[in-house]
């Protein structure tokens, strides 16, 4: 299978280079338009914070990996990126890499199931741009099936593997229901934003953001449909929150033990959770000595992360087994798209229909006419299949590209429901 793929990712390039090659959805659509103009017949472009990848069936035999790399780099005018920053794949390797991405085992965070959605979105864009032909649609389906199986059949995505997520999961263990709880996130940087998003996903009743730079807090609050507090005022409101997550880059303690004691008195000592995920710490660790205060810092959270990461790593062989099974299944289908087996399948398909109908109606004919019925119906089938059979034989002899031949044969199989009938029989 002539499927090319290139990837720049967390294994091959530092974050600044990955960022320089990141493509927005608008840029992806624009790049697809350019790729369709003589470079690729069909394909897929995937771009996330940790990877930018291009998959495609070449428009002609001159295509190679350096040309694909140049195509992407020049489009972004990013001269710092070199060939060493790319991984290159072809045929089964390309497909296996895509499956590894879709299942999350090639992610920076092993088992990150967000990438499954990102792959799905990339497929959707490809289809909307008419960049997904017969073959790529089958590739899409196979990759998504592998990703879904990994999520449902293994524990590869279970347990928190980021400190922000671990903090929120721990909060859920303390407060089983967050729908009546309020939370304050101190810090509107990447970690604070991730923690805030996780709280929203878990159904937090009220979320407030504060940050040393007011504009940044306000922008994040608007983005997350929450409220914000000015930084110089948040201490006066600590008692209003059941959960406080702090993730700033401050050099000194922001919330002292006295601040927490004062807040707890105003709360009449209703339970409060303090999650300090900053380095250095934002909250005085002695706060954990106060009754009904549940305090955790980055060290205790990292223990949870490492335990969960170890569990996910242990699931990788199970996911790889799923990938291998789906690869074998895909190439079993792909290899069936040859002239000879398709001609046989087509004839078997029509012969089965003919035999079934003859058997249903055989008693309507006299004994002497039954032989004639066999002869006449077989002649009809032969005449119907003469032209398709001739054309199928021409496909491999015509010198057209292998992918074109496979596409034509695949369409014939699809039109007559050959593969569908086969899968139906297997299910029975």
What is the DSSP pairing of strand 206-211 with strand 272-276?
unpaired
Task: Judge whether 195 and 169 are in contact, CB under 8 Å.
Answer: no
CB 133 within 8 A of CB 282: no
CA 16 to chain centre: 23
The helix or strand, by DSSP H or E, that contains position 12, with its residue range, turns out to be none
SS3 state at 346: helix
Structure tokens at 137: 């649609």
DSSP secondary-structure letter at 284?
-
Partnered with residue 274 across adjacent β-strands are 244, 295
Residue 410 host element (H or E): helix 402-415
Whole-angstrom Cα distance, residue 123 to residue 131? 9
Which of 2, 22, 39, 49 is the catalytic position?
A: 49
Active site residue 171: no
Cα distances (angstroms) measured from residue 1 to each of 90, 391, 400: 8, 22, 14
Residue 21's nearest CA partner among 42, 39, 48, 40 is: 48
Long-range contacts, stretch 91-95, CB < 8 angstroms, 24+ apart? 91/1, 91/2, 91/3, 92/1, 92/327, 92/331, 93/5, 94/3, 94/4, 94/5, 94/55, 95/1, 95/3, 95/139, 95/142, 95/143, 95/327, 95/330
Q: Which residues are catalytic?
A: 49
């Amino acid at each position: 299978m002539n499927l090319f793929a290139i990837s720049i990712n967390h294994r091959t390039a530092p974050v600044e280079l990955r960022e320089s090659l990141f493509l927005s959805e608008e840029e992806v659509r624009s790049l697809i338009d350019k790729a369709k103009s003589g470079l690729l017949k069909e394909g897929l472009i995937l771009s996330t914070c940790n990877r930018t990848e291009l998959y495609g069936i070449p428009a002609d035999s001159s295509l190679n990996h350096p040309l694909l790399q140049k195509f992407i780099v020049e489009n972004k005018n990013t001269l710092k990126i070199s060939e060493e920053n790319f991984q290159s794949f072809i045929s089964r390797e390309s497909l296996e890499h895509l499956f590894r991405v879709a299942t999350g085992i090639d992610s920076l965070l092993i088992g990150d199931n967000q990438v499954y959605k990102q792959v799905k979105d990339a497929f959707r864009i490809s289809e909307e741009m008419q960049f997904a032909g017969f073959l790529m649609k089958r590739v899409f389906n196979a990759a998504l099936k592998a990703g879904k199986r990994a999520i449902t059949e293994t524990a590869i995505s279970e347990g928190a593997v980021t400190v922000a997520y671990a903090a929120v999961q721990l909060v859920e263990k303390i407060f089983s229901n967050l729908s009546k709880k309020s939370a304050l996130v101190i810090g509107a940087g990447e970690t604070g934003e991730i923690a805030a998003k996780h709280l929203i996903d878990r159904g937090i009743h009220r979320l407030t953001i504060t940050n040393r730079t007011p504009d940044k807090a306000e922008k994040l609050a608007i983005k997350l449909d929450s409220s914000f507090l000015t930084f110089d005022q948040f201490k006066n409101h600590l008692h209003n929150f059941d959960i406080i997550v702090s993730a700033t880059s401050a050099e000194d303690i922001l919330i002292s033990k006295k601040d927490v004691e004062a807040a707890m008195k105003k709360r009449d000592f209703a339970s409060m959770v303090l999650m300090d995920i900053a380095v250095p710490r934002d909250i005085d660790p002695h706060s954990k000595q106060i009754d009904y205060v549940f305090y955790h810092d980055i060290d205790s959270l990292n223990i949870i992360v490492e335990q969960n990461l170890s569990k996910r790593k242990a699931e990788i062989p199970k996911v790889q087994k799923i990938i291998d099974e789906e690869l074998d299944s895909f190439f079993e289908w792909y290899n069936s798209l040859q002239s000879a087996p398709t001609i046989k399948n087509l004839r078997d398909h029509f012969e089965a229909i003919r035999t079934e109908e003859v058997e249903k109606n055989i008693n309507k004919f006299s004994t002497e006419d039954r032989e004639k019925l066999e002869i006449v119906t077989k002649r009809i089938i032969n005449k119907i299949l003469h032209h398709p059979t001739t054309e199928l034989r021409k496909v491999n002899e015509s010198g057209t590209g292998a992918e074109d031949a496979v596409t034509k044969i695949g369409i014939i199989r699809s039109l007559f429901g050959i593969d569908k009938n086969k899968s139906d029989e297997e299910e029975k």
